[in-house]
Amino acid sequence: MDVSTLLLRPANNADVPAVKRLVFKVLREHGLRPSPHGTDADLRDLEASYWRQGGRFDVLIDTAGRILGIVGLKPVNPTTVELRKMYLDAGIRGRGQGRRLLTHALRKARDLGFRRVELETASVLQQAVKLYERAGFRRFVSASLATRCDAAFALDLSP
């Protein structure tokens, strides 16, 4: 697949079934359990969970419109946003698309006026952890982590 033809676009609720399939598939590939009524409940209504809260949710699609990647920004408070649900289909991993999604999300976070980005992840997602660390994210102690997560990272955005 030619990743140069992949397009990023804002998601809407029509994308929910495909987004859920991608998230649950990637979680299972890494031995993690989906939590449709807990950690993943935000996927039931992308517009309410992200857009109406002052954040955003974007999808990476191929020329046929298939969703191959996703990334969300969910506000925590007026200055901090949580990077959520950054997942890629196995067929495009290792081809620069994770960096592309992260760069896009950080730019959008700045555009929305946030000064800090936080995220929670599972250490088993080793490539993602490396990506976050290379981008300048630093581990911090979170008051509470999602059940499948064992690490929290934060990045202060420069003005």
Query: What CATH code would you report for 3-156?
Result: 3.40.630.30
pLDDT tier at 159, thresholds 50, 70, 90: low
In the chain, domain spans: 3-156
Tokens of 50: 């992200």
For the segment 72-92, the average pLDDT, to the nearest whole number, is 96
For the segment 70-84, the average pLDDT, to the nearest whole number, is 97
Question: What are the tens digits of pLDDT across the range 102-154?
Answer: 999 999 999 999 999 999 999 889 999 999 999 999 999 887 777 788 899 99
Question: What are the tens digits of pLDDT across the range 3-39?
Answer: 889 999 999 999 999 999 999 999 999 999 999 999 9
